[in-house]
């Protein structure tokens, strides 16, 4: 469990808070490129790290991210006109470009240079992997642009999604690094039936056998290894033939998790970005290093995403107000959670904890090793920054493009620490690098 003070430290992300200062030293994905396609199109409201912002794409196709409040009188720039490379406030006509510079002030006297003294808060943006990213910290401390494996793949090999989540970022991301919940929350009753037993061999088993193994062996031996970017989580389960079923998740500070996946196919990353202290959104990036997503796959994904939203296109249908539409019959006959679709099972349990979980009342066990470690790392990094110690993994030295998760079967005596050690991790069991 954590003290109230520790819980407050790691959960509060607004301007001027220790965790807010830490978060602002990293790049943040905040919109899908598809959500801001049109040059001179309508602006989009963005809530990020407790700040109300406006995103827009200018005449030249550049993305701007400005404080929502006009620096003149505080009117919302959501109502501004986006044209001729700037956002013109409809109150007095003051106009701001993507850098926040005031480029026109028609309500001022002719010949005045007052506009040169006015600047709207603006954050730099880049586009990569189908996502728009921003950096909100000191300009002189800006780290290199995101350079994960998916940032280096062709556009057609990447599929990004964004989903609102109605709780603090930390309890949401903790689900990504909680390996033991896989044997309960996401289990279909059909998964408990033995299947594809012939794939219980060192190497890649079938997905069906993997689900059977998770359903049968609901526990896991969880080990954590600190790395230069965060940590590796290694969860080991036995298999019916006496082998080891290994899942490796890599967590990159502050909130990016590479989910275990078989390297012969699709891989995924889950990024839980704080909107404010009590809300976040999950950017999920699926990618295939060697195969593009088809048009049909993209259309199917868009349809599935839109069907789970209210008519406003922003609010999830399944949420606290309707008990996440749990189906009690399905819960006893089809899937333990009784909640569809798959992702909403995670959202339901983390949101049910309340906007910010009271961690003073928890009872953690060995399976929570990764959760304990991420809290320690975030708290330490936030405190260190207050003392002038630079945050980890911001200087560009980490080979981000080589970080990957893994799911694989190894022999009974094989060493799991030799797997997926491609981004500078040690292959020595349990050795801590930080």
Q: Is the pLDDT of residue 433 over 50?
A: no
Query: How does pLDDT run across 191-220, given as a tens digit for each residue?
Result: 999 999 999 999 999 999 999 999 999 999
Smallest Cα–Cα separation from 279: which of 164, 161, 134, 135?
Answer: 164
**Which burial class, exposed, middle or buried, applies to 21 when counting CB atoms under 10 A from its CB (0-12, 13-18, 19+)?**
middle
Listed in order, strand segments (DSSP E) in 136-183 are 158-165
Rounded to a whole number, what is the largest CA-CA distance in the chain? 84
In this structure, of 157-166, 234-243, 422-431, the range with the lowest mean pLDDT score is: 422-431
**434 near 253, Cβ under 8 Å?**
no
What pLDDT score was predicted for residue 426?
73
What pLDDT score was predicted for residue 264?
66
> Tokens standing for 63?
């993305």
Domain segments of the chain as ranges: 27-141, 149-418
Query: How does pLDDT run across 339-391, given as a tens digit for each residue?
Result: 999 999 999 999 999 999 999 999 999 999 999 999 999 999 999 999 999 99
Query: How does pLDDT run across 261-278, given as a tens digit for each residue?
Result: 887 678 999 999 999 999
**172 near 356, Cβ under 8 Å?**
no
Q: What percent of the chain has pLDDT over 90?
A: 91
**Which burial class, exposed, middle or buried, applies to 330 when counting CB atoms under 10 A from its CB (0-12, 13-18, 19+)?**
middle
Plot region of 175 (φ>0 → left; ψ -120 to 50 → alpha; else → beta): alpha
Residue 424 pLDDT level (bands cut at 50, 70, 90): confident
27-141 shares its CATH topology with 149-418: no
Report, as an integer, the average pLDDT of 286-299. 94
Helix%, strand%, coil% for the chain, nearest 5: 30, 25, 45
Share the mean pLDDT of the chain.
Answer: 95
Beta-carbon count within 10 A of 309 CB:
14
Smallest Cα–Cα separation from 373: which of 126, 178, 117, 145?
Answer: 178
Residue 434 pLDDT level (bands cut at 50, 70, 90): very low
Smallest Cα–Cα separation from 236: which of 375, 419, 425?
Answer: 419
Cα separation, 324 vs 342, in Å, equals: 12
Element (H or E) spanning 407, and its range? Answer: strand 406-410
Q: Strand 267-276 and strand 256-259: pairing?
A: antiparallel
Q: How many residues does the chain have?
A: 434
Q: For the stretch 117-138, what's the b/e string if a residue is b when 16 or more beta carbons lie within 10 angstroms of its beta carbon?
A: ebebebbbbebbbbbbbbbbbe
Plot region of 31 (φ>0 → left; ψ -120 to 50 → alpha; else → beta): beta
Q: Structurally, what CATH architecture does the domain formed by 149-418 represent?
A: Alpha-Beta Complex (3.90)
- Please state the CATH superfamily assignment of the domain spanning residues 27-141 in this structure: Rieske [2Fe-2S] iron-sulphur domain (2.102.10.10)
């Amino acid at each position: 469990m954590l003290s109230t003070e520790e819980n407050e430290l790691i959960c509060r992300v607004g301007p001027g808070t220790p965790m807010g200062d830490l978060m602002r030293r990293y790049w943040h994905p905040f919109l899908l490129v598809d959500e801001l396609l049109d040059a001179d199109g309508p602006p989009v409201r963005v809530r990020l790290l407790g700040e109300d912002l406006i995103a827009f794409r200018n005449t030249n196709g550049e993305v701007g991210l400005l404080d929502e409040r006009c620096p003149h009188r505080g009117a919302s720039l959501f109502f501004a006109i986006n044209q001729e490379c700037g956002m013109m406030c409809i109150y007095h006509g003051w106009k701001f470009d993507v850098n926040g510079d005031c480029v026109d002030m028609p309500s001022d006297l002719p010949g005045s240079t007052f506009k040169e003294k006015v600047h709207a808060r603006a954050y730099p943006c880049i586009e990569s992997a189908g996502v728009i990213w921003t950096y909100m910290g000191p300009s002189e401390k800006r780290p290199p642009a995101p350079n994960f494996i998916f940032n280096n793949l062709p556009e057609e090999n990447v599929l990004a999604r964004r989903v609102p989540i109605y709780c603090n970022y930390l309890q949401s991301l903790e689900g990504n690094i909680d390996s033991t919940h896989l044997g309960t929350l996401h289990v279909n009753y059909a998964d408990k039936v033995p299947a594809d037993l012939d794939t219980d061999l060192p190497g890649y088993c079938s997905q069906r056998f993997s689900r059977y193994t998770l359903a049968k062996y609901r526990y896991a031996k969880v080990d954590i290894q600190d790395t230069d970017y965060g940590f590796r989580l290694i969860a080991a389960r036995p298999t019916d033939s006496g082998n080891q079923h290994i899942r490796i998740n890599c967590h990159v500070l502050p909130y990016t998790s590479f989910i275990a996946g078989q390297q012969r196919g699709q891989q995924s990353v889950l990024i839980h970005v704080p909107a404010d202290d009590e809300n976040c959104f999950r950017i999920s990036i699926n990618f295939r290093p060697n195969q593009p997503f088809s048009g049909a796959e993209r259309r199917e994904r868009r349809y599935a995403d839109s069907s789970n939203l209210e008519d406003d296109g922003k609010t999830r249908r399944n949420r606290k107000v309707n008990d996440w539409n749990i189906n009690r019959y399905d819960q006893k006959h089809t899937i333990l959670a009784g909640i569809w679709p798959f992702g909403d099972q995670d959202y339901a349990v983390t949101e049910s904890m309340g906007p910010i979980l009271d961690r003073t009342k928890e009872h953690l066990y060995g399976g929570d090793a990764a959760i304990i470690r991420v809290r320690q790392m975030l708290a330490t990094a936030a405190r260190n920054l207050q003392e002038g110690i630079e945050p980890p993994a911001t200087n560009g030295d980490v080979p981000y493009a080589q970080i990957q998760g893994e799911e694989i079967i190894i022999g009974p005596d094989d060493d799991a620490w030799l797997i997926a050690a491609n981004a500078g991790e040690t292959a020595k069991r349990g050795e801590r690098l930080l």
